[in-house]
Amino acid sequence: MFSLYGAKILAIDLDPQGNLTDSFNVDADQLPVLIDIIEKQASVQDCIINVEDGIDLIPSRIENVTLDSKLAITRAPLHNVLSNILSTIEDNYDFIFVDCPPMIGPSVTAASLYVDLILVPLNPDRFSAKGLKILKDEIINLTNQYKTELTYKVFLNKFSGNTILSDKTIQTTIAVENGGGYALSTAIRQAQEIPNITDLGLNMFSSLKKSTARDDFDLLARELLEINLNEIKSRNKI
């Protein structure tokens, strides 16, 4: 979505399942991925492919499942892993998005220490609420260990008003995050259109047909862009 506003995007798929890679209709079986960079079998430039106008991708395949063990065995300095890999190309992009697997390990820790903002989709179920608590505890641990400040924002995903109103855990979770300034106002509504479009290998933004899913993602992108614009203004005393 950011690319439609003129931003140049790099998306990095860290998840061995490669869902982000699949969503771009990319077969990564014969393509270099992050583990190949770590093992010095490919450069970051070798891994980057263009998937849409304004969007590049570092894809993933099942071999990325060994990322965590490789980083642990080599005792790689996790706070420098991605910055060292991306230092030669990051100035080519306005935004770099890192799609992480749901399990917290060395690779996710490395990504968390690299990014400026951790974006957390919160599904309307208690498992997501528990997962968010685990993530927040890990953020505190990383903050203390690396003497850095990690920022996260939560947004409701697969939103259904009836579900939210009937689940006290989700109500409480959202209230706490909103009260602390950690919740985005945009929610992504439950929509069958999203899996349908993914299965067909299509782009919801390539059609002018009315779409609630597209409207939601557009609002989310606008809210996030405004967050970044405010940070830039603050840094430059504007």
Compute the Cα dihedral for 106, 107, 112, 118 and give only its sign: negative
Confidence of residue 162 (pLDDT cuts 50, 70, 90): low
Helix, strand, coil fractions of the chain, as percent rounded to 5: 50, 15, 30
- 223 against 195, higher pLDDT: 223
**Banded pLDDT at 233 (limits 50, 70, 90):** very low
The pLDDT of residue 208 is 62
189 burial class (0-12, 13-18, 19+ CB within 10 angstroms)? Answer: middle
Q: Residues 165, 89: one domain? A: no
Is 111 within a domain? no
Domain boundary among 75, 106, 137: 106
**SS3 (DSSP) at 94:** coil
Residue 58 bridge partners (DSSP): 12
The answer to whether residue 198 sits within a structural domain is: yes
Whole-prediction pTM: 0.85
Residue 89 confidence (pLDDT) above 60: yes
Clarify whether residues 70 and 183 are in a common domain. Answer: no
Same domain, 142 and 222: yes
Instruction: Name, of 43-47, 72-76, 173-177, 190-194, the range with top average pLDDT.
Output: 43-47
- Tens digit of each residue's pLDDT (9 = 90 or more) over 188-222: 888 777 777 777 666 767 666 777 888 888 889 88
Q: Are residues 229 and 120 located together in one domain of the fold?
A: yes
CA dihedral 143, 104, 112, 201 (to 10 degrees): -160
pLDDT above 70: residue 111: yes
Q: CA-to-CA distance for 195 and 23, rounded, in angstroms?
A: 10
235 and 122 both lie in a single domain: yes
Closest CA to 93 of 56, 50, 42, 51: 56
Q: Which has more confidence, 171 or 44?
A: 44
Closest listed residue to residue 182, CA positions, set 118, 98, 138, 102: 118
- How high is the mean pLDDT of the chain? 86
Phi, psi of 121 (to 5 degrees): -75, 130
Contacts for 169 with CB less than 8 Å, ≥ 6 apart: 126, 129
Name the least confident of 78-87, 119-128, 133-142, 202-211.
Answer: 202-211
The reply to whether 74 and 129 lie within a common domain is no
What's the start-to-end Cα distance of the chain, in Å?
A: 27
Domain holding 46, by residue range, is 1-106
